[in-house]
Structure formats: C-alpha cells, structure tokens
Amino acid sequence: MKAASNYLHRLALATAALALTVSAAQAVTLDEIKERGQIRIAVANEIPYGFVDPTGETKGVGPDVAKAVIERLGLDPANIDWVVTNFSSLIPGLQANRFDMTASEMAIRPERCEQVIYSEPNTSYGEGLLVAAGNPKDLHAYSDFAEGDGKVAVMAGADQLQMLQALGVPQQNIVTIASNADAISTVANGRADAYAATGLTASELASKSDNVELAADFQDPVIDGTEVRSWGGFNFNADSTELRDAFNIELAAFKKTDEWRSILESYGFTPEDIEKSFDHTTEELCAGP
C-alpha cells in the first residue's frame, strides 16, 4: 500500500507539473510574437465590430484599432494572421491558444473576465431590435417577449441572451442562431419575430434587405434599475498578461488621437458612444454592478 501511495503521490506531482507547463505554454509575450513575426487575431465576422469584406480584407472598429495599436507595438499590421470564427468560439479559441487575441469588441462581462483577460474598453454601444418589414408585431423592446408566444432570436454566446432572461423572457420564446449572417432570413422567414442585437449590428443588418428593418422608437432594456449599455474590448488568453499590458499602454495613447475617433465614427458610433467609452475601466466592468 505504501508503494502504491508513493506512486500516486509522484503521479500527482507530475500531473501538476504538466499543468503548469501547459499553462506557461499558453502565455504569449510580445517578444515571442515579434520573434515569430506574426500575431494571430480572431474576429467573429460581425459588422461593424470585426469582419472580412467581399475582397477578403479584414475591417471593423476592432481590427482597424488593433492594426494601429499593433503598429505602435513595433509589429507590421500586414503580418497579422486574421482568424474568422463564430462568436461563441472566441473565448474557447483563446483558451486553446488557437489565436493570440480577439478584435471583435466583445462586451466586458464579469463571467467572461473569469475565463479570459481584457484590454481597457475601446468602445461603448447600446441595443437594438431587427424586425420584419413594417414591424407587423409592433415590437419596440426586448421586454415585449416576456409574455405571449412571440419569438426573439439571439446569436449563440451573445450578451442578449442574459438580457432577455433578466427581463423574464421564457426560454421557449428565444431562438438561438449561429451567427449574424442567419439573422435576416430567420426574421424574414418567420422563424423568429425579431433579432436582438446591438443597435449598430441591427442597423447594419436592416440596410442589407428590404424584408427587415430596425425597430423604431426602440426602448433600451432596463435591468435592476439601470439602462443597459455595453463596453467592448480586446481579449487575451488569461496567461498573456504581459501582452495585454503592453497593448493597453498603446491603446490608451491611441485613444487620445483624432485617428481613433475617426475610426469609430466611420463605423457608425455616435459622439455619445465615443465619449461613454471612457466611463468605466475594465476592472470596474469585471467587478460587475
């Protein structure tokens, strides 16, 4: 029994050592990226946050700001390896070290802060609702789905699911879709009566088809007495603190420039959105209300 006990003890130590080695291997530093000559950045193909246009060029407020910050860090933006994945795969991808950071303006939420680390906020944005042309169900708020049998679609992994649940929308009234690319057909074909997304996303989708429109007179959700607004940032593997800290220094400097403001304006962010991006720190947002 003693021999078996010693064996189990050695096995436990070896397992712990292996776990530490794997964790260390996942930590990516700026020097390692410079030596590699390439940084891998993921987007979720969501306009205007981070997407690939028909010509194959990666655009969006996240990628455009990331390119500028990466250049300030001494890296060539032309050497960025852009990875396109589903929104719900961004955090697992970081944890599995499939890419070094994300540029999808993922909202900073306490539960996400437990899984990955964030830069300081880059953007702030409100909510919206995509509905069928003419808004036949007269929908103007997420809370409209709390009663009755109306269906509202959300993208897998998006914040809107938690918002709807907090507003008392029953699960049977929520339709989950894989990506924003499915939103127009989901609403136009009647699988759902509306699609819940950020105002910028809903507006962009509405511009792509005459079969849908942005719900007018939209009422921002109010949860626990507070009007919902999101702050988006760049994500990193939890062990890549050195890379995140270096990125934060240059991001803070870039946010003081007219170029940063112009990037946000070009993708539809309002002056209020831009100013509100400075309202909270990541530490505050990770701590929650």
Per-residue tens of pLDDT for the chain, all 289 residues? 434 344 334 444 444 444 333 343 457 899 999 999 999 999 999 999 999 999 999 999 999 999 999 999 999 999 999 999 999 999 999 999 999 999 999 999 999 999 999 999 999 999 999 999 999 999 999 999 999 999 999 999 999 999 999 999 999 999 999 999 999 999 999 999 999 999 999 999 999 999 999 999 898 899 999 888 999 999 999 999 999 999 999 999 999 999 999 999 999 998 889 999 999 999 999 998 7
Instruction: Please give the pLDDT value at position 226.
Output: 87
Instruction: Please give the pLDDT value at position 95.
Output: 95
Angle formed at CA 178 by CA 172 and CA 184, multiple of 5 degrees: 85
Q: Which domains does the chain have, with CATH numbers?
A: 27-125+231-283 (3.40.190.10), 127-227 (3.40.190.10)
User: What is the distance between the alpha carbons of residues 214 and 231, in angstroms, rounded to a whole number?
Assistant: 22
Output the pTM of the full model: 0.78
User: What is the distance between the alpha carbons of residues 180 and 46, in angstroms, rounded to a whole number?
Assistant: 7
Q: Which amino acid is at 244?
A: R
Instruction: Please give the pLDDT value at position 94.
Output: 96
Helix boundaries (H) for 27-89? 30-36, 61-72
CA R_g for the chain:
21
How many angstroms separate the Cα of 132 from the Cα of each of 185, 200, 209?
10, 17, 10
